[in-house]
């Protein structure tokens, strides 16, 4: 079941507000849940799930301190930019049975670009802080960004290309990829080889997520024990609270992107439901999928290993994950040219 939010300005604004609220709320809830996951994996009880809400409330109620040798304008703008751009990403990603708010205005390639904006905001904020820790953190963030772009791009392009090869119109649109309207997914167009390829690409995307979100093992830009928080070291109060929110929204966006690309199924495709019940069921299922994605690509990875050096980030993402991505792409290409299975 699909609900179009329409394209008139009013519903776009309404949709944007709704998505922003959803992104912020879900971001905080998922961060709380994620902390619980991590805690239980480490044999701890961990903080209550509402802890991120308390943290943000406390941060927002505190003064923001601008360091003496910071560039105030840039320093104060960076967190706003980070949060805003994180929300904008969400506007292009289908959320359960809902089509993206801005479905007609951009596609996957745009999302890829948008994903770099919060990171760039962090970098700008870090350089503007005027602290050596933040500077090193910003340099590292840029390097990290460049490292994960390649595997991410490979994964995205492989999918769109396979859909195009299967003769589907508008393959770069996320709504098409998620099959929200058509019920056609990458898994149904691909043959066995293509499925192997997509599994490889799924692994690649699962590994890009921690880098995108600056979590262990790729939290080098923040690296508490090395840089005491790196590019966030000088941030406090409201500004830090905004970054915190942005981090939550970004987590949801990354997970939603993974869901849209690789786990697009909706309950309403298989069970006949009334339109409204279908929306609710699909959305609940979507949240469940987000949780699963976050569990594996954020919690398990960050709890299960040590932090990389920045040089490792480069070599692992360009070398191993880039290689894995290309292998996946090769499988997908072979699959398409051999005319493997599929319903079209």
Partner 1 sequence: MSEDSKNKATFNVPIGPVHPALKEPILFTFKMDGELVEEVDFAPGKCHRGIEWMGMRRNPVQIVHLTDRICGICGVSHSLAFARAVEQIAEIEVPERAHYVRTIIAEYERLQSHLLWAGVAAHELGFDTLFFLAWRVREESMDVIEYLTGNRVNYGIVQVGGVRRDFTEDQFPRIEASLQYYEDIAAKLLKLFLEDKTIQIRCKQCGVMSKREALELCTVGPTARASGVAMDVRSDSPYAAYGDLDIAPVLPHHYLGLTNGDVYDRIVVRLLEVVQSVDLIRQCLANMPPGEVLWEKKYPKILAACKKATGEAVGRVEAPRGECLHYVRMDGNPSPQTWKVKASTYSNQLSWLKMLKGEQIADIPIVVASIDPCMSCTDRVAVVRDDRTDILTKADLHRLSVEKTRRLAQWS
Partner 2 sequence: MSFLPAIPEILRQFLKRPATNIFPAKYLPPSVTKYLQSVQEGKTSIHPPVETPPNFRGKILYDRDTCIGCKLCIRVCPANAIEFLPETKRVRIYVTQCIFCSQCNDACPVDALHMSDEFLLADEDRYSENMIVE
Number of helices (H), then strands (E), in the chain: 14, 0
For partner 2, the closer of residues 48 and 323 by Cβ is 48
CB atoms within 10 A of CB 73: 9
Q: Where on the phi/psi map is residue 216: left (φ > 0), alpha (ψ -120 to 50), or beta?
A: beta
Shortest separation between residue 61's beta carbon and partner 1, angstroms:
25
Beta bridge partners of 98: 3, 95
| Token reading at 190 | 């691909």
Which among 32-40, 188-196, 206-214, 248-256 is the span making contact with partner 2, rule CB under 8 A?
32-40
Cis preceding linkage at 69, omega within 30: no
CA dist., res. 154 & res. 168, Å (int)? 19
Please identify which residue in the block is written with the tokens 């070291």.
Answer: 233
Whether the CA torsion 303, 81, 237, 90 is positive or negative: it is: negative
Burial of 71 (0-12, 13-18, 19+ CB in 10 A): middle
Shortest separation between residue 51's beta carbon and partner 2, angstroms:
9
For partner 2, the closer of residues 41 and 228 by Cβ is 41
By CB under 8 A, name the one of 5, 30, 32, 37 that touches partner 2.
Answer: 37
* Interface with partner 1, residue 150, by CB under 8 A: no
CB of 89 closer than 8 Å to CB of 111: yes
Three-state SS at 98: strand
* Interface with partner 2, residue 300, by CB under 8 A: yes
Q: Which residues contact 169 (CB under 8 A, 6 or more apart)?
A: 176
Of 71, 78, 63, give the one whose Cα is nearest residue 130. 71
Size of the site for partner 2 (CB under 8 A): 15
User: In residues, how long is the chain?
Assistant: 344
Of residues 314 through 333, those in contact with partner 1 by CB under 8 A are: 314
By CB under 8 A, name the one of 49, 67, 181, 226 that touches partner 1.
Answer: 226
* Interface with partner 2, residue 41, by CB under 8 A: yes
CB of 134 closer than 8 Å to CB of 66: no
| Token reading at 276 | 């409204």
* Interface with partner 1, residue 224, by CB under 8 A: yes
Whether the CA torsion 313, 297, 331, 161 is positive or negative: it is: negative
By CB under 8 A, name the one of 3, 18, 39, 74 that touches partner 2.
Answer: 39
Of residues 119 through 158, those in contact with partner 2 by CB under 8 A are: none
Site track for partner 1 across 288-317, x = CB under 8 A: ---------------xxxxxxxxxx-x---
* Interface with partner 2, residue 44, by CB under 8 A: yes
* Interface with partner 1, residue 223, by CB under 8 A: yes
* Interface with partner 2, residue 291, by CB under 8 A: no
Partner that binds at residue 45, options partner 2, partner 1, none, CB closer than 5 to 8 Å by kind: partner 2
Which among 27-35, 45-53, 136-144, 203-211 is the span making contact with partner 2, rule CB under 8 A?
45-53
Site track for partner 1 across 9-48, x = CB under 8 A: --------------------------------xxxx----
By CB under 8 A, name the one of 4, 13, 21, 48 that touches partner 2.
Answer: 48
Partner that binds at residue 175, options partner 1, partner 2, none, CB closer than 5 to 8 Å by kind: none
CA dist., res. 96 & res. 22, Å (int)? 12
Q: Which residues bind partner 1 (CB under 8 A)?
A: 41-44, 132-133, 135-136, 139, 143, 216-217, 219-220, 223-228, 303-312, 314
Q: Which residues bind partner 2 (CB under 8 A)?
A: 37, 39-48, 300, 303-305
């Amino acid at each position: 079941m699909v609900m179009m939010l329409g394209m008139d300005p009013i519903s776009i604004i309404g949709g944007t507000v709704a998505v922003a609220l959803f992104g912020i709320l879900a971001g905080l809830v998922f961060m709380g849940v994620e902390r619980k996951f991590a805690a239980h994996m480490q044999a701890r009880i961990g903080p209550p799930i509402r802890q991120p809400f308390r943290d943000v409330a406390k941060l927002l109620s505190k003064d923001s301190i601008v360091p003496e040798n910071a560039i105030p304008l840039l320093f104060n703008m960076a967190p706003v930019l980070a949060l805003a751009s994180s929300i904008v990403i969400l506007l292009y990603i289908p959320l359960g049975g809902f089509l993206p708010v801005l479905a007609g205005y951009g596609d996957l390639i745009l999302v890829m670009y948008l994903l770099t904006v919060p990171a760039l905001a962090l970098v700008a904020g870090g350089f503007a802080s005027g602290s050596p820790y933040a500077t090193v953190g910003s340099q590292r963030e840029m390097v990290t960004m460049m490292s994960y772009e390649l595997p991410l791009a490979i994964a995205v392009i492989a999918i769109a290309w396979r859909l195009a090869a299967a003769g589907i119109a508008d393959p770069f649109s996320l709504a098409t990829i998620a099959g929200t309207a058509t019920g056609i997914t990458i898994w149904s167009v691909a043959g066995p080889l293509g499925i192997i390829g997509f599994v490889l690409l799924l692994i690649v995307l699962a590994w890009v997520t921690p880098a995108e979100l600056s979590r262990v093992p790729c939290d080098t830009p923040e690296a508490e024990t090395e840089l005491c928080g790196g590019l966030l070291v000088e941030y406090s109060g409201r500004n830090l609270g905004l970054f915190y929110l942005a981090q939550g929204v970004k987590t949801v966006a990354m997970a939603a992107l993974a869901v849209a690309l690789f786990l697009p199924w909706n309950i309403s495709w298989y069970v006949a439901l009334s339109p409204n019940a279908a929306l609710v069921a699909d959305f609940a299922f979507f949240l469940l999928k987000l949780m699963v994605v976050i569990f594996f690509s954020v919690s398990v990875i960050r709890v299960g290993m040590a932090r990389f050096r920045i040089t490792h980030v480069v070599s692992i993402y360009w070398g191993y994950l880039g290689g894995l991505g290309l292998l996946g792409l090769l499988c997908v290409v072979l699959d398409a040219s051999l005319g493997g299975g599929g319903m079209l």
